[in-house]
Amino acid sequence: METQEKLVALRRLMKQAGVTALYVGTTDPHQTEQVASHWKAVQWLTGFTGSMGYAIVTENAAEFWTDGRYKELALRQIDRNAFHINSISDADTTDWDAWLMTQLKENDVLALDGEVTSEAMLRIFRKKLPVKGLRIDCSRHFVGEIWQDRPVISSNPVWEMPAEYAVENRREKLAALRERLKKFGADASTLVCGLDDVAWLTNLRGDDNPLYPFFHAYVWVDGRRALLFADRSKFSDAIRAKLAEDGWTLHDYREVQDVVESAASQVLYLDPFKTPFRLYESVPEERIVIDGPDLVMGMKARKSPGEQANIRKANRHECVALLRLMRWIEAHVAEGKLDEYAVGQKLEAFRRMSPLYLHPANVPIVGYGENAALPHYRPSAAVSARIRPEGFLLFDVAAQYICGTTDLTRTVAVGVLTEEMKVDYTITLKAHIKLARQKFPEGTTGNLLDAVVKAGHWDRCMTFGHGTGHGIGYVLNIHEGPAKIITEFAQLFPYGRETALEAGMLFSNEPGVYKPGRHGVRIENSVLVQKDEKTEFGQFLRFETVSFLPFEHKAIVREMLTDEEVAWINDYQHQVCENLLPMLTDDEAKWLREKSADLV
C-alpha cells in the first residue's frame, strides 16, 4: 500500500469508530527507543526510516513531527502530498498539542494505541488538550488493523552474558535493587518495564531487536519475590535452572497484568514514562504509588570498574576496525567506485575480525557531501551516493561487542577541502575538546554542559540540532538514560535535564556542524565520567576519553586553536598510538603513526 492508500484505509476505520483524530507513534509497550520492526507503526505508515517521529491523522489533515536530527531525512522520505512535516527543533514549529487544539471540538474522540501508550504520555495528552468532554480512546491499534504484512516478534532464544563480561552476578544486582527499594518502605515493590533494565538486571540478552540485544519482558521485584515475565519458550532448561537458583521465578509475558492487579505490597514504585498506562492504572486503588525514574536505570548507568575495563576493550576493538576502514577508504576513493553503502558493508567485514564482536548497534550513518548534513542519514543498497575524491565523508557507527557497546563518528577528507569545510571542522573539533577537557562539580546536570559546549557555536551564530552527548548502555542501548548532555527536553530522556552526571556514567561527545545542501561535520568519542580533585569547593568530576581514532589533520585550521587545544590534540594522538599499535600489522602501524603525527 502507498502512503495515500494507508491514510484512506485509516480514515475509513476512524470514521466507523467515531474517532476525530488518531495519534501514531514509534514505541512499544516498554517505551524502547529502537523498537523491533513489529512496533514501527509510524515508519510503516509514512515511509520514514528514522527512530524519532510521530504523526496525527484527522479526516482532512495529516501532520508529522520529528527533531533536528531527522528533519532533512523526513523531507526526503515522506510524501509531502500526504503529510505536512514539522521539526520540533525549529523555534517557529507549531507543537503537536497546539495544532491538535485547532482540530478538536467539544466531545470529540482522540485515539491512541493503548498497547504502547505510557502512563506519562496519557497524562501529557490529558493535560495539553483541555477540550470539554474530550474522550481519549486507547482500546484499538488502528494502524495494526490495516498492517497486513506486519513483522512478527523474534522467537530466537534468550542467552546469558558470560560471567567475566556481566561482572556482577544476578544475586548481587537483585540485592542492590532491593536495598534501593527499602527507601520506600519495608514491603515496597517495583515493576521494571524497560527492556534494557530487565536485560541488565538479569544478565540475560536476546535477539528480539536487530540492533539491541533485548528480549520482551517485565520484572516484578519486592522483598520476597523476583518475577520475570517473558516468552518462556525462549529460555533453555539450563537458564531456567540458573534463574531459579538465583531466586527468580519465570512467568508468561501476559501474566504481569494479573500480578499488578493483585499487588499485595502497600507501596508500589513505578516509572510513569516507562510503564504502560494499562498496567499503571490497574494497580489497586488502596495501594500507594510512588512515581520516579526507574530504579534499575540509575544503577546500570553507573558502570562498575569491571564494566569500565571491558568498555575500554570494546572501544579498542572497534577503533581498530574503523582504522582499517579509514585506511581502506583512503586507498580506494580515487578510483571513483566507492559509495556510501559499500563503506558500511566493508566496516562489517573489518569488525568480524574481532572474536568479541556481536553485531551492529545502529544502521551505519554514512554520508558523503551534502548527505553528511543529515545527522541521521542512512544509505541503503538502493539509495547510496557515489563518493568522489573531494570534500568530506562522515560516518557515525555503533557496535555491540560482548564486552561493551561503542558509538563513534569521524568526518574524513576524501579529497580537496574548501576553506569553509576546514573552518567548520575546526569549530567542531574545538567543541569536542571543550567537553573532553571540562571539569565540573558534582551535581552538574547535562543541560549546563551542553550550553558550555555550544557556546563556541553560539558565538558564531551557529548551533547543531541535537545534544552534545547521550548515555551509552553496557551491551545494551546506544542511547541510555537517565542523564543526557542536552539543553532541550527530549521525550526519550525525560529526566535528562534534572539528572546530575555521576562517576561511572558513559556518554558520547559528539558536537557537529550541518549545512544542508553543502556538507556536514561531526566528531564523536565515548567518554566515562570520573572523579577528579576534591577541593574546598567540593568534589569535581572530569571526562575520560575511551575511544581512540586520529583526527583529520588536513581539515584543521591551526590558527583557530589555542596552544592548550593543540597540546590536547597531540596528547590524544599519542594515546591513539599507545592503545592501537599493539593490535595492528606493520603496514597499519606505519599508516597510523603518519596520521597521528603531532600538530605543530
Kindly report, residue by residue over 295-326, the tens digit of the pLDDT: 999 999 999 999 999 999 999 999 999 999 99
What pLDDT does residue 206 have? Answer: 97
Q: Are 405 and 399 in contact (CB under 8 A)?
A: yes
Computed over every residue of the chain, the mean pLDDT equals 95
Residue 407's identity, in one-letter code, is: D
Q: Using the predicted structure, report yes or no on whether residue 33 has a pLDDT greater than 90.
A: no
pTM for the predicted model, two decimal places: 0.93
Question: pLDDT tens-digit profile of 114-138?
Answer: 889 999 999 999 999 999 999 999 9
Q: How far is CA 114 from CA 121, 137, 140, in A?
A: 11, 8, 7
What pLDDT does residue 554 have? Answer: 96
Residue 166 CB-density burial (10 A; 0-12 exposed, 13-18 middle, 19+ buried) = buried
The mean per-residue pLDDT over the stretch 507-533 comes to 97
Grid cell in block for residue 298: 540509575
The mean per-residue pLDDT over the stretch 219-246 comes to 97
Going by C-alpha positions, the residue among 539, 439, 450 that lies closest to residue 486 is 450
What pLDDT does residue 105 have? Answer: 95
What pLDDT does residue 273 have? Answer: 95
End-to-end CA distance of the chain: 59
* Domains of the chain in sequence order: 3-146 (3.40.350.10), 159-300 (3.40.350.10), 302-595 (3.90.230.10)
Residue 315 CB-density burial (10 A; 0-12 exposed, 13-18 middle, 19+ buried) = buried
Q: Using the predicted structure, report yes or no on whether residue 525 has a pLDDT greater than 90.
A: yes
What pLDDT does residue 279 have? Answer: 93
The mean per-residue pLDDT over the stretch 204-230 comes to 96
Question: pLDDT tens-digit profile of 461-507?
Answer: 999 989 999 999 999 999 999 999 999 888 789 999 999 999 999 99
| Integer Cα distance of 84 and 92 in angstroms | 15
CA angle 138, 144, 150 (to 5 degrees): 150
**Alpha-helix runs per DSSP H in 182-255:** 195-202, 237-245
Question: pLDDT tens-digit profile of 553-592?
Answer: 999 999 999 999 999 999 999 999 999 999 999 999 999 9
What pLDDT does residue 92 have? Answer: 87
What pLDDT does residue 566 have? Answer: 98
The mean per-residue pLDDT over the stretch 529-537 comes to 98
Q: Using the predicted structure, report yes or no on whether residue 69 has a pLDDT greater than 80.
A: no
What pLDDT does residue 458 have? Answer: 97
Name residue 288's beta-bridge partners: 267
**Which residue reads 508529522 in cell numbers?**
64
Q: Are 414 and 392 in contact (CB under 8 A)?
A: yes
**Alpha-helix runs per DSSP H in 84-138:** 96-101, 119-128
Q: How many CA atoms lie within 13 A of 222 on its CB side?
A: 15
The mean per-residue pLDDT over the stretch 88-106 comes to 91
